[in-house]
Chain A
Amino acid sequence: MPNNTHLSRFMEMARRVGAEVTQLENLQDAAKYVVTNSSGTTLVPRTALSEKHDLRTVLADAGVDVYDGDFRKAGHFPGAGVTFCNFAMADTGTVVLESTAEDVRLSTTLPEKHFVLVDPEIILEDNLAAAVPMTKIHTGNEPKFVAYVTGPSRTADIERVLTIGCHGPRELHILVIEGLSSDLYEI
């Protein structure tokens, strides 16, 4: 039985900040979801988890236009990015991505839409509980880039009116699937 006591809170909080949250059976369903909900060049970084689950192939097989070249040359506004995450935090509906590899950064900042795969097992209760993994990730002299992502990009800089999609992705889709990963240090 997976430890998913924080799942419902996480889903509720992520929805509150404008993320689309969907529970799916497996990666094939996730691929179908991506096809239905986006179009255009799709950045899928090669990471430990994506290699392990052969994510790029699964997506391509479902008809996603998985980009093959240098991500910097994929245009200023690629259609989508699909990534895993290290862990999530229930109290704020946040996903956390160790993004030291540049392709993870480009896949989550440039595209119009970001799809992120979350295993319920890696949902932490709250931000304070993240102190342990965050400290461990930052131990040692290795350069690190860690991104907390909570909902889509937003601004209220014109007349204080909340507007979605300023400089980052306009949509954040969180796809919850069991059995992807139980390791907070893997993405």
Chain B
Amino acid sequence: MATDQSYKKSIETAINNPKLSKALHLFGDAYLIARENAYSGLNFDAMRQELAAIKDDVRIRRKELLAEFIKNAEAAGSIVFVAKDVKEANDYVIKLAEKKGAKLIAKSKSMVSEEAHFNKAMEKAGIRASETDLGEWIVQLAGQRPSHMVMPAIHMFKEEVAELFGKEVGKTLNPEIKTLVDVARERLRQEYFNADIGLTGANFLIANTGGIGLVTNEGNARLCATLPDTHVVFAAIHKLLPTVEDAIKLTRLLPRNATGQLLTSYVTWIKGTVPCDGKTKEQHIVLIDGGREALYESKACQDALRCIQCGACANVCPVYQTVGGHVFGSIYISAIGIILTAFYEGLDKAKELTRACIGCRSCTAVCPSNIDLEEIILHLRTQVTSEYGMGVIKNVAFKAVMKNRGLFHSMVKAASKLQRPVTHPSRTGDEKRVIRHLPMHFMDRDFTQWRDLPSVAETSFRDQFPNIRQSVSDPKYTVGFFVGCGADFVYPEVGTSLIKVLNALNVDVVFPQKQNCCGIPALYSGDTETGVYLAKQNVEAFTEAKVDYIISICPTCTMAIKRDFVERLADHPGWSAKALALSDKTMDASAFLENVLGASEKLGNLSGNGSVTYHDSCHLKRGNNVFKEPRALLGASGYEISEMKNSDRCCGFGGTYSFLSHPQISKQITHDKVEAIQNVNVKTVAMDCPGCMIMLKGAMGKANPNIRCAHTVELMAEALDKK
């Protein structure tokens, strides 16, 4: 079990190995393009909803389907064994091998066999299990574990492979990929012929036929299933599907999502005991629970068992791309790995992993089984916090300070004065002060070496609001402004800009003074209690205000009101109806401006000028599905948009993530974003999130102070001013 110290170390080691991270970035970029092409002409959302529905039906009817599968498999000659855990599964194979006097097992890929530490268990029993999947073989020779579910050796380079293979065949090998693949081809061919048992996994188990399916590219699974006279299928129970047609639907998603292929080289459907060397093959199907029943029973996490192990949630994850699968995972890696680790290996083992997720929702957006991975991870983080605590700083910050609105706000005011000695005018001079260096004893130097920290505004938005004069004679709507901490205390000018834009479109703005922090920082740190408390404060403030809509310029706050308040207050009588009513009329500013007010048409062609590039914030795009709107608004305001590479990749902020829990990972992710922005060659980057502004203004301030980071509504307000 990794201690906190060794965990921190493993992150540092990974970050100090830029070669790996670079490879994972290149892969991530290529993957996105291949995947998009693979889905062209298809409706990904409809397909994944269909798969999710099939998998949910399997969850509900699992007992019945399992019985049906066993009955049909047995009728076709298979021997089926249901193992409650991986040990039982290993023991079954050991017994079988002993009975047959088997010494060699040729094995194709099976993730559940990784879970079972199968190879080690066999070795102890005097049986050699030889991996035949190229990547698995590399990892086996290196004495490591896979760092990716689809590409087990993605963390290794051809030189290392040449060395490993060279040792194996007893000669020096050129690190040329084609040569290395040929070495494996030749070497492993002997294993299939010599093996006493061939072991494969299964990508699906079909209840109404009793058959199994293998989705592969190399062709090793077909050889493992064909040459030895005994075939063992090692499969987890959640691989069940009702029918052949359901399996076909799965195969339409799996390769597309895993590697961007329309179909893998081979899809192999095996049912029962087929002929083998003049006799009949012996086939054993070992069905493993290994903690899945418990996961099925967990209402909050059960969707994770819809997983078809495509590995996509790793491919797109900025944390995975930064530190790799050996740090960000265990047997299973990245988003799904966090969840499965918690269930199959214990919450304790998943403690650090739940915190290492930055919450960008890229995994959720790409999952072919429609699993809201980020939400499940959040749930687990809450459990981790209630079991292991969240650390002193957060405890004081959330529980003692944030809950008390008066104290929180007066502390912020005090902070604005206290920070004086360390703030400097920003480099360009035309903007506000920033914190460039923190006194050394206060925090790690690294903290401000690569970014400026924002300073607290002299007058918060809530204190400015009473003095803002609105001139809307006959307002079409009255909206309540949910300001959020970022705009309230750091960038109040975003709030004033919004009012200007809304007024210009004949909308009146009210500001309920009793509103408080949305509670997401506490909630994302696993402090539900503070989260619920804050939700109630806000629901009360906005219910009293009686407005047509609630508008926020922070997508995280928007998501909080739309989704989290409703969920957190669902079991609180008297509150849930109110939370639901608010949720229905809450919108992000860009969405409201464009979709309700039709702003881009009404404003016509304003004369904002210059080129801007647009950064999609995680929670706006993947939390609120808003990304066309800000572009339309900026276009109508007279700006020309030059798209950056991966505009919807996380900026690295993640709230307390970048300050307290994982500043090193955050720094790397931000670095990628800064590079993408600089490559566009524009003077302004627009965005719709104060969190992203904190991160990007800070990092840009150091990297290239001439590039301005601004909120979309600020740029709109400026264009209006020029009218």
Residues of B within 8 A of A131 (CB): 244-245, 248
Contact with A along B182-223 (1 / 0, CB 8 A): 101100111001000000000000100101000001111011
In this assembly, does A156 line the interface, its C-beta being within 8 Å of a C-beta of chain B? yes
- Surface stretch bound by B, among A31-39, A47-55, A137-145, A176-184: A137-145
Q: Which residue of chain B has its CB nearest to the CB of A132?
A: B245
Q: Which residues of A contact B266 (CB under 8 A)?
A: 147-150, 153, 168
| CA distance in complex: A77, B243 (Å) | 36
Contact B262–A154 (Cβ < 8 Å): no
Is B135 on the interface with A (CB-CB < 8 A)? yes
Of the listed residues A101, A135, A142, A168, the one surrounded by the most CB atoms of chain B closer than 10 A to its CB is A168
Contact A158 B180 (CB under 8 A): yes
Q: Which residues of A contact B184 (CB under 8 A)?
A: 166-167
A93 to B252, CA, bound (A): 13
User: Which residues of chain B come closer than 8 Å to A93, judged between CB atoms?
Assistant: 262
Interchain CA distance A100-B190 in the complex, whole Å: 23
Using a CB-CB cutoff of 8 Å, which residues 86-108 of chain A contact chain B? 91-94, 100-102, 105-106
> Which residues from chain A contact B220 at a C-beta distance below 8 Å?
166-167
The answer, among B27, B138, B188, B222, for a CB contact under 8 Å with A158, is B138
Within 8 A of B (CB), among A80-129: 91-94, 100-102, 105-106, 109-110, 127-128
Q: Is A155 an interface residue (CB 8 A)?
A: yes
Residues of B within 8 A of A161 (CB): 177
Please, how many angstroms separate the alpha-carbon atoms of A53 and B261 in the complex?
A: 35
B271 / chain A contacts, CB cutoff of 8 Å: 138, 143-145
A72, A94, A128: the one within 8 Å of B263 (CB): A94
Closest CB in chain B relative to A63 CB, distance in Å: 27
| B259-316 at interface with A (beta carbon < 8 Å) | 259, 261-277, 280
Measured CA separation A110–B272 after assembly (Å): 22
Give the number of A-B contacts (CB < 8 Å): 181
Most buried by B among A157, A165, A166: A157
Between A130, A151, A166, the greatest number of chain B beta carbons within 10 A of the residue's beta carbon is seen for A166
Determine the distance from Cα of A56 to Cα of B182 in the docked complex, in whole angstroms. Answer: 30
A165 and B151 contact, CB distance less than 8 A: no
How many angstroms between the C-alpha atoms of A160 and B181 in the bound complex? 12
Question: Which residues of chain B are within 8 angstroms of A144 by Cβ–Cβ distance?
Answer: 76, 211, 269-272, 274
Q: Which residue of B lies closest to A148 (CB)?
A: B267
- Contact A163/B264 with A100-B275, A127-B248, A143-B271 known, Cβ cut-off 8 Å: no
User: How big is the B interface, by class?
Assistant: 35 or more
Instruction: Determine how close the nearest CB of chain A comes to the CB of B483; give it in whole angstroms.
Output: 46
**Which listed residue, B23, B76, B269, B276, touches A146 by the CB 8 Å rule?**
B269
Q: Which residues from chain B contact A13 at a C-beta distance below 8 Å?
A: 262
Name B155-188 residues within 8 Å CB distance of A. Answer: 156-158, 161, 177-178, 180-182, 184-185, 188
Contact between chains at B267 and A158 (CB < 8 Å)? no
Looking at the assembled complex, report how far the CB atom of B154 sits from the nearest CB atom of chain A, in whole angstroms.
7
What are the residues of chain A within 8 A of B277 when measuring CB–CB?
A: 72, 102
- The chain A residue with its CB closest to the CB of B135 is A157
Contacts A76-B193, A138-B244, A144-B269 given; does A166 touch B185 at CB 8 Å: yes
Q: Which B residues touch A17, using CB under 8 A?
A: 261-262, 265
Given A143-B76, A161-B177, A155 and B276 touching (CB < 8 A)? no
Nearest-CB distance from B135 to chain A (Å)? 4
A134 sits at the interface (CB 8 A): yes
Give min CB distance, B75 to chain A, whole Å: 4
A165 to B178, CA, bound (A): 9
Does B211 contact A159, Cβ atoms closer than 8 Å? no
Q: Is A168 touching B275 in the complex (CB atoms < 8 A)?
A: no
B185 in contact with A160 (CB, 8 Å): no
Given contacts A143-B77, A166-B184, A166-B218, 13 further A-B contacts (CB under 8 A): A72-B227, A92-B262, A102-B226, A138-B206, A147-B269, A155-B217, A157-B153, A158-B161, A160-B27, A165-B185, A167-B220, A168-B218, A169-B219
- Which 6 pairs show the lowest CB-CB distances between chains A and B? A168-B219, A143-B272, A157-B135, A166-B218, A148-B267, A153-B219
Please give the residue numbers on chain B whose beta carbons come within 8 Å of chain A beta carbons, in ascending order.
Answer: 23, 26-27, 30, 72, 75-77, 132-135, 138, 151-154, 156-158, 161, 177-178, 180-182, 184-185, 188-190, 193, 206, 209, 211, 217-220, 222-223, 225-227, 243-245, 248-249, 251-252, 259, 261-277, 280
Enumerate 28 A-B pairs (CB-CB under 8 Å) in ascending A order. Answer: A13-B262, A17-B262, A77-B189, A92-B263, A101-B275, A128-B249, A134-B244, A134-B269, A135-B244, A141-B72, A141-B272, A142-B76, A142-B272, A143-B76, A144-B274, A150-B266, A154-B218, A155-B218, A158-B134, A158-B156, A158-B161, A158-B181, A159-B157, A160-B26, A167-B134, A168-B222, A168-B265, A168-B266
Question: What is the interface of chain A, defined by CB distance below 8 A to chain B?
Answer: 13, 17, 72, 76-77, 91-94, 100-102, 105-106, 109-110, 127-128, 130-131, 134-135, 138-139, 141-161, 163, 165-169
